[in-house]
């Protein structure tokens, strides 16, 4: 028997603007845009739904947007805030399924196939619960599109925006495709649309009806992909990072042919924009330590370790510098990552002449492999790894950060650009 | 200054000292090599402050001087001189900030090189409170090659990025570990020494292996608490020591075993190389299944497929299965120079030992992977 898959795409509505509204509720209900730098010639990174009727859209130059909408509120972007809220969304999603793929900062694919019977609910009901939980806990509006595969889920999310939940089951895909302009399919851009038009393709269904030979002849190997897209076929799995830590809530729910591929995720990283720019080495080092600890904890949560450590700094002048180093043994330990990151920082941020003030610090780890595949030989390393496990257990029981190294306190006191987040509310179900 | 060097002598010296010269460095003076043009005992020096390599030069000096010359420019010039019998003359007033360079031989060439004062060039460390030993270079190199494979090249824990010289009695033990594996070599140095440990950075070890002669030449080793100097007649390598405590390695090397097997090193190695086609450094796992008289080595890769290879072994225990990092096994076997290897096992979860049969002067300890 063929299982009908239930794949959802969660897409946060006007994500950057929504994040800024979490930080500053006065932005609510007004036409607003987020730009990188309000002073310079800047482009719109995101526009609120209130701004869109004026013709304001992503990619527009700021002064054009101001001309289109004189009452526009302009907010400078805070990437660290978006990353933070994105990771908060991800945490909530893990409560609903153990198949979560964060495909971008504001989009995630979820495989709900195995959890429908666990929740005794249909996909739309689960979608609404996810939506309610994210709105309630984080104050962010989201849309979910649900379908038999990622292609359809993505299409549905676009159709249901904003704040919608919409599902199409496999038997109804053909009817939907008759009415769907082909360029609505994810992967069909304006150039492809123009190339398809002479072949008589207007709707997605038109594309599905074209003989594959015609497509192969015109487009080469991607002809097959186009044919499948037109037929609503997409076999790409939802690829989680190694999965959520600890025993899963959903044991044995998945068919074996969909093994999770851990190395699909290339790197794990964290960055913070500091509360104010600083050239104080004590503060910068403390941030580097805090970020190393965060990245290490996340690596361990995903049961991963990595060999390439990358440090990014952005100076007060917006110069962004980065450098990486490859170590011999994969690590998931905070102080170990810090040890390497500190060496890299010393190269990027030399004390002589006086170093520039720093605005942002980031640490990421890549070249990932399973964390516990190779046990250490040295007893001291074994103890270190046991200690990490213990700290993780304490933090998962008593809340993240319940136990943490004192070396990160100066950074915490100094502060980052993050709004107050409502305390994590446990799902009562 | 005025001094004439043969291309051969300069090229030999540059090739060695540039091992200690970093192209990228915050201190511009360190991209230079120091040339000490003296009567009868000229030298070239390169350093990155941690490591310092000094090599003797053959030169005829009519006006002696010490001067720092850009390593890359001089190196490029010397290597592009096509005539192997040519010479180079360095001349001029070093206080002027540049000197003349002239080629003598079939190619006609003159040029000018910017130079820096010898006063800006870092001085060698003072050697005080030292221990001095002497050992045939070949023995030292063989010990270093065998241990260096197990050291970490790059790690925040610096004690993993070196080779320990553990001196006690008439032996010096060389040990390195990257925390997953460890290698151990015991060399006899004679005399009777109090116990003392020195941790030599892996980069200095690599330079020793590269620069020291693989013959019976005596290498003199001088250690202080912070510095080690290795020297022969023509070359001296000085290095800062790693100021961290090396792990207690004796407690990591197992002493009692439950099982062991023996295999032909070449066959074992060839089988590992074949099977490791299906591994990579992110997924280095191979499994080894032992049965009476055969060992099956297998690897599975998500995108490359899978492979098995079988090797005859001398094994009399129960059938068992273990998993290893393929590269650790290859590294260890590459340093076993006898026809046979003996692998000593406690259980599939404990560290096991690879060595030449019944030889305790050299062994590799490898922690198995989880099955």
Residues of A in contact with B244 (CB under 8 A): none
Please tell me which residue, A81 or B67, carries the higher pLDDT value.
B67
Residue B110 inside a domain? The answer is: yes
Q: A379 and B152: CB-CB below 8 Å?
A: no
CB-count exposure of residue A386 (10 Å: 0-12, 13-18, 19+):
exposed
Domain match, B226 and B314 both? no
Give the span between the Cα atoms of B371 and B369, in whole angstroms. Answer: 6
Residue B75 inside a domain? The answer is: yes
CB-count exposure of residue B313 (10 Å: 0-12, 13-18, 19+):
buried
pTM of the model: 0.69
Give the span between the Cα atoms of A2 and B181, in whole angstroms. Answer: 48
HSE-CB of A321 using CA atoms within 13 angstroms: 16
Domain segments of chain A as ranges = 1-168, 267-426
The answer to whether A142 and A129 are in contact (CB under 8 A) is no
Domain match, B92 and B161 both? no
Q: Which of B198, B228, B251 is the last residue of a domain?
A: B251
Domain match, B50 and B86 both? yes
Residue B126 inside a domain? The answer is: no
**Cα of A372 to nearest chain B Cα, Å:** 8
Domain match, B312 and B219 both? no
pLDDT score, position A1: 44
State the total domains in chain B: 3
Give per-residue pLDDT as tens, B255-280. Answer: 999 999 999 999 999 999 999 999 98
Domain match, B148 and B40 both? no
Q: Does B40 touch chain A (CB under 8 A)?
A: no
How much of chain B exceeds pLDDT 70, in percent? 100
A366: which strand partners? Answer: A267, A308
Q: Does B67 touch chain A (CB under 8 A)?
A: no
Residue B296 inside a domain? The answer is: yes
pLDDT score, position A247: 40
Residue B181, H or E segment: strand B181-201
Give the span between the Cα atoms of A133 and B29, in whole angstroms. Answer: 61
Range of the domain at B69: 2-120
Q: What is the DSSP string of B268-290?
A: HHHHHHHHGGG-BTTB-EEEEEE
Non-local (6+) Cβ contacts of B25 within 8 A are B31, B48
Domain match, B162 and B97 both? no
Q: Which residues of A are catalytic?
A: 107
Give per-residue pLDDT as tens, B163-214. Answer: 999 999 999 999 999 999 999 999 999 889 999 999 999 999 999 999 999 9
pLDDT score, position A257: 30
Domain match, B243 and B144 both? yes
Give the span between the Cα atoms of B149 and B126, in whole angstroms. Answer: 31
How much of chain B exceeds pLDDT 90, in percent? 90
Among A307, A350, A377, the residue with its CB nearest the CB of B351 is A377
DSSP state of A422: P
Nearest one of A280, A285, A283, A292 to A413, comparing CA atoms:
A283
User: Three-class SS of residue B201?
Assistant: strand
Domain match, B113 and B12 both? yes
**Cα of B343 to nearest chain A Cα, Å:** 17
Long-range CB contacts (within 8 A, 24+) of A186-190 = A186/A151, A186/A154, A186/A155, A187/A225, A187/A229, A188/A229
Mean pLDDT over B106-115 rounds to 94
Phi-psi label, residue A139: left if phi above 0, alpha if psi -120 to 50, beta otherwise: left
Please tell me which residue, A353 or B63, carries the higher pLDDT value.
B63
Rounded mean pLDDT of chain B? 94
CATH value at residue B37: 3.10.150.10
Domain match, B288 and B240 both? no
Residue B310 in this model has a pLDDT that exceeds 70: yes
Give alpha helix (H) positions in chain B. Answer: 7-17, 71-80, 137-148, 202-211, 265-275, 326-334
Helix, strand, coil abundance in chain B, percent, nearest 5 = 25, 45, 30
Length, in residues, of chain B = 371
The verdict on domain A267-426 having CATH code 3.40.50.261 is no
**Cα of A151 to nearest chain B Cα, Å:** 24
Domain match, B187 and B214 both? yes
Q: Which of B120, B150, B178 is the last residue of a domain?
A: B120
Architecture of domain A1-168: 2-Layer Sandwich (3.30)
Give the span between the Cα atoms of B237 and B124, in whole angstroms. Answer: 11
Interstrand relation of A107-111 and A7-12 (parallel, antiparallel or unpaired): antiparallel
Q: A329 and B285: CB-CB below 8 Å?
A: no
Domain match, B108 and B191 both? no
Among B366, B367, B370, the residue with its CB nearest the CB of A372 is B370
Q: Which of B181, B216, B251 is the last residue of a domain?
A: B251
Give the phi and the psi of residue A364 in degrees, each rounded to 5: -140, 155
pLDDT score, position A41: 66
Q: Which residue has the tokens 């292609």?
A: A151
Domain match, B111 and B10 both? yes
Per-residue pLDDT in tens (0 to 9) along chain A, 429 residues: 456 889 999 999 999 999 999 888 888 888 999 988 777 667 788 899 999 999 998 888 888 888 899 889 898 888 888 888 998 899 889 888 888 888 888 899 999 988 888 788 899 999 999 999 999 889 899 999 999 999 999 999 999 988 999 999 988 999 999 999 998 888 888 888 888 999 889 999 999 998 888 888 888 888 888 888 999 988 888 877 644 444 444 433 333 333 333 335 678 888 888 888 899 999 999 999 999 999 999 999 888 999 999 999 988 887 888 999 999 999 999 999 999 999 999 989 986 678 889 988 999 999 998 888 899 999 999 999 999 999 999 988 887 788 999 999 999 888 876 433 333 333 333
């Amino acid at each position: 028997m063929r299982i009908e898959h239930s794949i959802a795409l969660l897409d946060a509505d006007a994500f950057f603007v929504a994040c800024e509204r979490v930080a500053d509720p006065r932005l609510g209900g007004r036409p607003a845009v987020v730009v990188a730098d309000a002073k310079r010639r800047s482009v719109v990174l995101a526009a609120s739904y209130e701004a869109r009727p004026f013709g304001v859209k992503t990619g527009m130059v700021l002064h054009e947007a101001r001309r289109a909408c004189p009452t526009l509120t302009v907010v400078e972007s805070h990437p660290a805030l978006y990353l933070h809220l994105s990771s908060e969304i991800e945490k909530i999603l893990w409560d609903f399924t153990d198949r979560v793929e964060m495909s971008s900062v504001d989009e995630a694919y979820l495989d709900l196939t195995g959890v429908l019977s666990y929740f005794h609910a249909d996909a739309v009901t689960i979608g609404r619960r996810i939506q309610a939980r994210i709105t309630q806990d984080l104050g962010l509006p989201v849309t979910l599109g649900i379908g038999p595969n990622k292609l359809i889920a993505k299409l549905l999310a676009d159709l249901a925006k904003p704040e919608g939940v919409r599902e199409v089951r496999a038997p109804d895909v053909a009817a939907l495709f008759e009415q769907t302009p082909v360029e609505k399919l994810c992967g069909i851009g304006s150039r492809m649309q123009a190339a398809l038009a002479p072949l008589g393709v207007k709707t997605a269904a038109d594309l599905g009806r074209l003989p594959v030979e015609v497509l192969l002849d015109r487009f080469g190997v991607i002809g097959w992909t186009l044919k499948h897209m037109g037929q609503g076929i997409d076999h790409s799995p939802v690829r989680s990072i190694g999965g959520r830590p600890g025993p899963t809530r959903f044991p044995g729910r998945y068919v074996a042919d969909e093994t999770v591929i851990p190395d699909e995720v290339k790197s794990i990283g964290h960055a913070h924009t500091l509360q104010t720019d600083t050239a104080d080495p004590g503060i910068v080092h403390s941030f580097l330590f805090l970020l190393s600890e965060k990245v290490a904890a996340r690596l361990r949560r995903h049961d991963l370790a990595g060999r390439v450590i990358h440090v990014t700094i952005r100076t007060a002048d917006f110069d962004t510098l980065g450098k990486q180093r490859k170590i011999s043994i994969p690590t998931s330990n905070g102080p170990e990552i810090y040890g390497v990151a500190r060496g890299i920082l010393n190269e990027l941020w030399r004390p002589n002449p006086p170093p520039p003030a720093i605005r942002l610090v980031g640490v990421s780890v890549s070249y990932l492999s399973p964390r516990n595949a190779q046990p250490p030989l040295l007893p001291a390393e074994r103890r270190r790894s046991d200690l990490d496990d213990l700290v993780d257990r304490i933090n998962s029981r008593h809340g993240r950060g319940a136990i943490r190294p004192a070396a990160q306190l100066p950074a915490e006191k100094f502060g980052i650009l993050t709004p107050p987040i409502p305390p994590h509310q446990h799902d009562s179900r | 200054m005025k001094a004439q060097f043969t291309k051969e002598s300069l090229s030999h010296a540059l090739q060695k000292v540039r091992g200690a010269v970093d192209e990228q460095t915050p201190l511009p003076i360190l991209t230079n090599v120091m040339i000490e043009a003296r009567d009868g005992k000229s030298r070239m020096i390169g350093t990155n402050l941690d490591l310092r390599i000094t090599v003797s030069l053959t030169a005829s000096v009519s006006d002696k001087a010490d001067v720092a010359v850009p390593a890359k420019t001089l190196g490029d010039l010397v290597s592009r001189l096509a005539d192997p019998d040519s010479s180079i003359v360095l001349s001029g007033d070093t206080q002027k900030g540049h000197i003349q360079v002239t080629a003598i031989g079939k190619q006609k060439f003159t040029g000018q090189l910017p130079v820096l004062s010898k006063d800006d060039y870092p001085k060698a460390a003072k050697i005080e409170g030292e221990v001095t030993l002497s050992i045939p270079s070949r023995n030292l190199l063989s010990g270093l090659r065998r241990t260096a494979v197990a050291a970490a090249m790059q790690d925040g824990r610096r004690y993993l990025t070196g080779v320990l010289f553990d001196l006690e009695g008439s032996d010096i033990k060389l040990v390195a570990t990257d925390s997953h594996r460890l290698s151990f070599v015991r060399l006899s140095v004679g005399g009777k020494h109090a116990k003392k440990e020195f941790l030599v950075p892996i980069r200095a070890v690599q330079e020793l292996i590269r620069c020291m002669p693989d013959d019976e030449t005596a290498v003199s080793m001088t250690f202080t608490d912070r510095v080690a100097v290795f020297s022969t007649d023509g070359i001296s390598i000085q290095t800062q020591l790693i100021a961290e405590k090396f792990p207690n390695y004796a407690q990591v090397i197992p002493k009692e075993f439950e099982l062991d097997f023996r295999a032909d090193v070449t066959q074992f190695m060839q089988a590992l190389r074949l099977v490791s086609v299906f591994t990579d450094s992110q997924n280095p796992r191979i499994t080894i299944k032992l049965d009476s008289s055969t060992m099956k080595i297998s690897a599975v890769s998500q995108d490359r497929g899978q492979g098995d290879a079988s090797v005859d072994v001398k094994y009399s225990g129960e059938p068992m299965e273990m998993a290893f990092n393929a590269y650790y096994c290859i590294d260890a076997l590459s340093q076993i120079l006898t026809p046979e290897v003996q692998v000593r096992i406690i259980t599939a979860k404990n560290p096991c030992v690879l060595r030449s049969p019944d030889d305790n002067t050299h062994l590799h300890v490898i922690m198995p992977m989880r099955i």
